């Protein structure tokens, strides 16, 4: 598959309209049945350099290419990743979990020295799940944080593509590490998504603390077998 090359066209338009910082944001793991949902951010300003060669939406890149891109992206722009656990997904639902992970990513970005004053978030998708989740304390003393939603922003906005890459690599690393403790779920290969081997492991040994049990209960109502490819990428 040929990767679509993202550009800074949207970011430069927003910067030209007076924004100080454009923060690309994307989620990873929304469709998984195990593990956290992760949200990545990448912040660009008017002096941003050329888009890193080979940067694309993380779903269009091989694992090795994503891994190689992370240090390049981190030199190109400040980045951060926030996560919300499977427990949060079960207890509060996926939308609040995304909001919590996004707010955590913004907080970590601010800790690196990126000011949120005069910033705008470009959020991949068609629904703003972020705004209500950002705590007032994080925005104390700054202008209200605007959020622009854009369908397929991870394909055409370089900051959002960068955010998707750092989030995907961070979440995948967590799931690979978890595989050592629970190899029967094949997390090293499926990263918590619903593969055949993953469901076989659930049938064989039951669930793990990293499983989103409410999602498995929903799946069991129509038989696990019909959900083997649920969320195979993301």
If pLDDT is split at 50, 70 and 90, which confidence band does 190 have?
A: very high
- Contact of 186 with 179, CB cutoff 8 Å: yes
| Residue 70, CB-side half-sphere exposure with 13 Å CA sphere | 17
Strand partners, 82: 39
The residues, ordered by sequence, that sit 6+ positions from 73 with a Cβ below 8 Å of its Cβ are 42, 52, 55, 79, 162, 165, 166
How far, in Å, CA of 86 to CA of 101, rounded?
12
Q: How far apart are the first and last CA of the chain?
A: 16
Strand partners, 123: 25, 149
Q: In the structure encoding, which two tokens stand for residue 29, read together?
A: 């793991």
Evaluate if residue 171 carries a pLDDT over 70: yes
Average pLDDT, the chain: 91
Q: In the structure encoding, which two tokens stand for residue 51, read together?
A: 């888009």
How far, in Å, CA of 130 to CA of 213, rounded?
24
Q: pTM of the full predicted structure?
A: 0.90
Q: In the structure encoding, which two tokens stand for residue 14, read together?
A: 């927003």
What pLDDT is attached to residue 140? Answer: 85
pLDDT digits (tens, 9 = 90+) for 42-54: 999 999 999 999 9
How far, in Å, CA of 225 to CA of 231, rounded?
14
For 97-107, what is the mean pLDDT? 98
Torsion (CA) 207, 208, 212, 213 in degrees, nearest 10: 40
3 state SS of 159: helix
**Residue 189 C-alpha from the chain's centroid:** 18
Distances (CA, A) of 134 to 51, 66, 81, 130, 131: 28, 28, 15, 7, 6
- Tell me which of 45-49, 194-198, 213-217 is least confident: 213-217
- Contact of 231 with 32, CB cutoff 8 Å: yes
């Amino acid at each position: 598959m040929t990767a679509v090359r993202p550009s800074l066209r949207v970011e430069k338009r927003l910067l030209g309209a007076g924004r100080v910082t454009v923060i690309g944001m994307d989620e990873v793991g929304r469709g998984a049945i195990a593990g956290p949902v992760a949200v990545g951010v990448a912040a660009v300003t008017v002096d941003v350099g050329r888009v890193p060669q080979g940067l694309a939406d993380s779903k269009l890149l091989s694992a090795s290419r994503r891994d190689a891109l992370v240090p390049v992206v981190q030199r190109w722009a400040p980045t951060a990743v926030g996560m919300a656990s499977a427990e949060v997904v079960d207890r509060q639902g996926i939308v609040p979990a995304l909001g919590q992970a996004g707010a955590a990513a913004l907080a970590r970005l601010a800790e690196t020295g990126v000011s949120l004053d005069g910033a705008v978030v470009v959020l991949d998708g068609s629904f703003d799940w972020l705004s209500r989740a950002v705590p007032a304390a994080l925005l104390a003393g700054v202008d209200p944080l605007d959020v622009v939603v854009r369908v397929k922003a991870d394909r055409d906005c370089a900051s959002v593509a960068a955010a998707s890459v750092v989030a995907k690599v961070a979440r995948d690393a967590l799931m690979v590490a978890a595989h050592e403790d629970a190899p029967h779920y094949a997390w090293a290969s499926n990263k918590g998504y619903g593969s055949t081997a993953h469901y076989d492991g659930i049938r064989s040994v039951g669930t793990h603390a990293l499983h989103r049990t409410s999602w498995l209960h929903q799946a069991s109502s129509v038989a696990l077998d019909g959900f083997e490819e649920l969320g195979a990428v993301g």
